[in-house]
Amino acid sequence: NLGEPVCELELGTIPASDPDILEKLKLCPALTGAQRDALNALLLSGATAYGDPSSWDLQTLQDLGPLVLALNQTMLGLVGKAAREDFRSSIAAAYLSQGRSQRGKSLILLRALAAASAAARPRLKRSSGRCESKLVTANNIEDIPYISAEELDLCLSSEVLIENLEAVLELPVTTESLQVLKKKVDEVYPSGIPEEQLRRLGQLSHLYTEQEISQWPVTSNDTLTALLSSSGELWEDSQVQQLFKRYLALGGSWTGPLLQEIGGEFLCKLQEEQIQQIPSGAIGTAGQLNISSCSQTKKELLYGRAREAFASLASTPGPYYCRIRPYLGGAPAEDLKDLANAGVTNMDQDTFLALNPQEFQKLSVTDVKNLLGKNLPELKKAEHEPWVVSWVQRQFQRELDCVLGIGLEGGLPDPTGTSPATATSRVTTPTT
């Protein structure tokens, strides 16, 4: 990695390095606190290609690339107001099309820029209790990411918020501002949020406690899926568990389309007891679910349900494998051996790597060969995985060479008294 030596520089070394050091630092996955301090000191000196911070414009901030995440409030405060505002606008414009990781970085920048702008303005008089800047209306809600949470509380009415809730919640607002928005929504509905309004909560929904969720009128699949999809990865497991508990308590039921809609990620957030309540019929009509984020115990529970769901296909190995494949991370060795003997799997790398490592240790060399089929080279690619190394060390090296022939090393020597001819004969006979 070109940037690796630079990424290990100590505090004090960065300012003394050549001017090109900043370009190399951009390659680092992350900077330490000391490195960030040194970086800010170097930029503050103005002795870089970027010049004095007070002269920076939008292009300069964009040219800094990932280093802009390391700028402290002092540095950002030196940047001209127009450049800061242009930069915030460019971040906000790109926010909705960004992935999860990039959105997180964008929020860090927006918060830092908001803090720098707030520090440059006179403090609001808290005792006034009224908006002393521009009121937020339907015509200027796009300004919300650029004002402080304190201003938002005073300058945005609950009525304007409710009327424009979806548009407001599409904006990249800070956590502090989201808390203000939640408070205003709760003020509008002191007796509880109606179901049709729950569907509009968007990224606010994950701010509600388990106790609050337990009072929600979640009676339809549409409400349930709208809530889950709006906050995505922000939901805690306990919140998801409470949400489903409430939905089922109000008469909801598990169906294949519902499981397909919520996906394996949320399925894995459920309690083991809740997974046990899912009928096999629902699993059977759910389509392909990705349960890779589940614990091993949950994978095993889901596999058991899937095995029941697809039992009628057991006599046709090809179709059976296609349906059971997403759940094989929970399969015992005995079932994997049955699939291997059927010889129809050609197991792909993702499915292979998701198998239970402990159960994999119980498979023979021939079992593994038959499971992988034409994808046997994938085993070579995974040879450094700890559980693959452990499996290889349990097998005879001659068997690995003669049956697999993909160059795996580290197996056991032939057992004492076994001639090469006998060993070869033994390993080329499929295990029964």
pLDDT below 70 — which residues of the chain?
1-6, 8-19, 96, 99-101, 117-128, 232, 416-432
Tokens linked to 248? 């089922």
The per-residue pLDDT for 424 is 43
The per-residue pLDDT for 107 is 74
The per-residue pLDDT for 98 is 73
The per-residue pLDDT for 161 is 96
Domain 129-190 grouped into CATH 3.40.50.300: no
The per-residue pLDDT for 149 is 87
Helix (H, G, I), strand (E, B) or coil at 125: coil
Tell me the CB-side half-sphere exposure of residue 339, using CA atoms within 13 A: 27
Helix (H, G, I), strand (E, B) or coil at 46: coil
The per-residue pLDDT for 160 is 95
Neighbour tally for 349: CB within 10 Å: 14
Residue 60 near residue 83, CB atoms below 8 Å: yes
- What separation in angstroms does the CA of 33 have from each of 38, 70, 253? 9, 9, 50
Distance between the two ends of the chain, CA-based, in angstroms? 48
The alpha-carbon radius of gyration of the chain (Å, integer) is: 29
The per-residue pLDDT for 108 is 76
Helix (H, G, I), strand (E, B) or coil at 421: helix
The per-residue pLDDT for 145 is 80
Own/partner pairs, 233-237, CB within 8 angstroms, 24+ separation: 233/100, 234/203, 234/206, 235/205, 235/206, 235/266, 235/269, 236/206, 237/269
Domain ranges of the chain: 1-119, 129-190
Cα torsion 116, 170, 176, 189 to 10°: value is: 150
- The verdict on pTM exceeding 0.85 is no
